[in-house]
Amino acid sequence: MTRRINAEQLQNISIFTDLSSQVLEQLTEYCQLNQYSTNAVVFSEGDNLPACLHVLISGRLCISRIAPSGKETILRVLPAGEIFAAPALFGDGKANNTTTAIAPAVVQTLKRQALLKAFSQTPELALHMLAILNQRLQQLHTRMHGLISERAIVRLINFLEYTVNNVGGIPIAGGEQIKSHLTYYQIARSIGITYEECVRLFKQLRPVVTYRRGGRITIVDRQQLSDLKEMQ
């Protein structure tokens, strides 16, 4: 399902915040909002991507790849506000992973031609986008290094810290609950371990971290969690 976006909605997206109202109005002609239900596939690996900027407005998306062996690896779980599908703009135009909605999601697209025109009118927009993509590459490098060199429990702690810092937490009695619900399977596939090992590691993190049915994770104390990592 698709619908249009107006200038005010477009300005609420972080990368467009500083654009003039005139530029925003021009961009809206080339934007649309696409709605996806839970478990809907946005792109499959190898699909031809439309030449657009893709921004997740609301909901969550799972970015994953399937190895020749059939094993799925979850590369990222995207919260609202994230840019994704970079090859649609700067690569070969083919999806290098599978993107699936793991909660009802709204994705905004902006045609590449309109984005390039906005770059020429507002060079700061191009620099901001380059900074975002550079940060993404650094995160990927750090993650790949961690998968090779760090113990599984350290990878789990790093994953939890990254998630609560980027997705946010909800203060509740007895700690801070991560906004995103993440299952054992999703976490295991994100940090390169088995489902069974993920369950076992969460038990080791008690009582600093608790896991409840449905992927509701509570961090009792962030500093204690960080201290546990230093002890490994």
The confidence score (pLDDT) of residue 101 equals 94
**Predicted structure pTM score:** 0.68
- Give the number of other Cβ atoms within 10 Å of residue 166's Cβ: 15
The confidence score (pLDDT) of residue 141 equals 60
The confidence score (pLDDT) of residue 143 equals 60
Mean pLDDT check: name the lowest of 93-102, 141-150, 218-227: 141-150
In which residue ranges of the chain is CATH 2.60.120.10 found? Answer: 2-147
Which has more confidence, 160 or 140?
160
User: Phi, psi (5° rounding) for residue 61?
Assistant: -125, 145
User: What b/e sequence results for 7-39 when a residue is b if at least 16 CB atoms lie within 10 Å of its CB, and e otherwise?
Assistant: bebbbebebbeebeeebbebbbebbebbbbeee
Distance CA 199, CA 184 (A): 7
For tokens 């699909």, name the residue. 47
In which residue ranges of the chain is CATH 1.10.10.10 found? Answer: 151-231
Tell me which CATH code domain 2-147 carries.
Answer: 2.60.120.10
What digits encode the pLDDT tens for the residues 203-216? 999 999 999 988 99
| 8 A C-beta contact, residue 218 and residue 207 | no
What is the average pLDDT across 198-204?
A: 94
* CATH architecture type of domain 151-231: Orthogonal Bundle (1.10)
What digits encode the pLDDT tens for the residues 9-54? 888 887 787 778 888 888 888 888 899 999 999 999 999 999 988 9
Distance CA 186, CA 184 (A): 6
| 8 A C-beta contact, residue 198 and residue 184 | yes
Query: Residue 109: is its pLDDT beyond 60?
Result: yes
What is the average pLDDT across 65-87?
A: 82
